[in-house]
């Protein structure tokens, strides 16, 4: 194949990928809005439950201990943390649900993506991007409403620039989470059930990522080790960034570490994908 021909093929591929990405995102958005009642009900229900539990739990804890500040948060700051967790989580962790890849493998519908001239994971990532757009919309509406009603709590530097840095972190985290979930789900090429692995990953993400408790509650030693795992970048890092709790230096350092994990997992996902296909039979012979 001559260099020119290869270049043209490559350009074709990129053009197709971009178009497909656009098309799938728009398709998924249409689907999300088509089921809008269930969609918003589920979202608001989840948010409300989360905040109610956090409110009563932390009110009791603050009252009992008499402390004004716990794990670096005032009571109001703590509540804002729990408001941000599901909102930012909508961006960073939306690929956790659904086990889409595993079920494509088990049912054999993966076959169709293997025939299309397009990487399967790109198609899946387009799904995730659509969910991110919806989550951004929800974040904007809910956070503005919350801040308008309750104001920014004392000791929290929530500014346009902290929100921007937080969102950049959240987008990176979204990609990282996508890679982690995809890699685990691709174990379905060999194992008959990846559901338990998936649940383990989800709970680890919640506990070690800071969705259940702010990571600043853990002993300093544990926090240091946690920084070496990919989990804190999924939740704690973008939420802390939005709340203005990180200096630019800290933010950049965390971004760097997250980048390294993204790199490692990209390679891993690629290897698993390549090897997995070798043992894929497309169900039935």
Partner 1 sequence: MIRIDNLSKTFRVHKKDPGLRGSVRSLFRRKWVDKQALRDVSLKVDEGEIVGLIGANGAGKTTLVKTCAGIIHPSTGSVRVLGYTPHERANAFRRQISLIMGQKQQLWWDLPAADGFLLLREIYLIPWQRYQERLDFLAKTLDVVSLMTTQLRRLSLGERMKMELIAALLHGPRVVFLDEPTIGLDLTAQRAIRKFLLDYRADNRPAMLLTSHYMEDIEALCERIVIIREGQVVYDGSLRKIEQFAQHKQLAIQLKTTIVKQAVGADLAALLPGLASGIAEIITATEDRLTIRVRQDHVTDLSAALLRELPVADLTIEAADIGTIIEGIMRAGLTP
Interface residue with partner 1, options 50, 204, 227, 277 (CB under 8 A): 277
Q: Which is nearer to partner 1, 247 or 279 (CB)?
A: 279
Angle at which helices 160-185 and 195-209 cross, to 10°: 160
282 binds partner 1 (CB under 8 A): yes
From 22-30, 73-81, 165-173, 221-229, span contacting partner 1 (CB under 8 A): 22-30
Q: Which is nearer to partner 1, 119 or 155 (CB)?
A: 119
112 binds partner 1 (CB under 8 A): yes
Count, residues in the chain: 285
Q: Tokens 């994971």 — which residue?
A: 121
DSSP letter string over 2-55? -HHHHHHHHHHHHHHHHHHHHHHHHHHHHHHHHTHHHHHHHHHHHHHHHHHHHH
256 binds partner 1 (CB under 8 A): no
From 114-122, 208-216, 217-225, 229-237, span contacting partner 1 (CB under 8 A): 114-122
Give me the least distance between CB of 171 and partner 1, in Å please. 24
The angle subtended at Cα 19 by Cα 17 and Cα 20, nearest 5°, is: 65
Element (H, E) at 66: none
160 binds partner 1 (CB under 8 A): no
Q: Which is nearer to partner 1, 104 or 185 (CB)?
A: 104
Q: Which is nearer to partner 1, 36 or 278 (CB)?
A: 278
Contact letters for partner 1, residues 2-21 (x by CB under 8 A): -------x--xx-xx--xx-
Instruction: Determine the Cα–Cα distance for residues 230 and 201; give it in Å rounded to an integer.
Output: 11
Token pair of 131, please? 């969910």
Assign 229 to helix, strand or coil.
coil
33 binds partner 1 (CB under 8 A): no
118 binds partner 1 (CB under 8 A): yes
Neighbours of 137 (CB within 10 A): 13
Q: What is the DSSP letter of 110?
A: H
Binding site for partner 1 (CB under 8 A): 9, 12-13, 15-16, 19-20, 22-24, 27, 30-31, 108-109, 111-112, 114-118, 277-282, 284-285
């Amino acid at each position: 194949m001559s260099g020119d021909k290869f270049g043209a093929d490559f350009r074709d591929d990129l053009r197709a990928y971009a178009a497909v990405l656009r098309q799938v995102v728009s398709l998924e958005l249409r689907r999300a809005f088509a089921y809008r009642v269930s969609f918003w009900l589920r979202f608001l229900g989840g948010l409300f439950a989360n905040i109610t539990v956090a409110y009563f739990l932390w009110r009791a804890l603050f009252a009992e201990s008499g402390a004004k500040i716990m794990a670096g948060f005032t009571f109001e700051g703590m509540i804002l943390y729990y408001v941000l967790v599901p909102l930012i989580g909508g961006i960073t962790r939306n690929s956790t649900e659904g086990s889409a890849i595993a079920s494509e493998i088990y049912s054999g519908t993966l076959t169709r993506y293997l025939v299309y001239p397009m990487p399967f994971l790109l198609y899946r990532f387009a799904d995730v991007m659509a969910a991110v757009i919806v989550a951004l919309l929800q974040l904007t509406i809910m956070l503005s409403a919350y801040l308008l009603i309750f104001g920014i709590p004392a000791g929290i530097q929530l500014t346009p620039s902290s929100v921007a840095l937080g969102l950049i972190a959240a987008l990176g985290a979204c990609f990282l989470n996508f890679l982690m979930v995809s890699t685990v789900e691709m174990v379905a090429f060999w194992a008959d059930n990846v559901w338990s692995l998936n649940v383990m990953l989800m709970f680890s993400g919640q506990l070690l990522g800071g969705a259940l408790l702010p990571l600043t509650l853990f002993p300093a030693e544990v926090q240091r080790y946690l920084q070496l795992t990919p989990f804190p970048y999924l939740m704690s890092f973008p939420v802390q960034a939005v709340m203005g709790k990180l200096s630019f230096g800290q933010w950049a350092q965390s971004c760097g570490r997250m980048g390294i994990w993204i790199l490692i997992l990209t390679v891993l996902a690629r290897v698993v994908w390549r090897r997995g296909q070798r043992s894929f039979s497309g169900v039935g012979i």
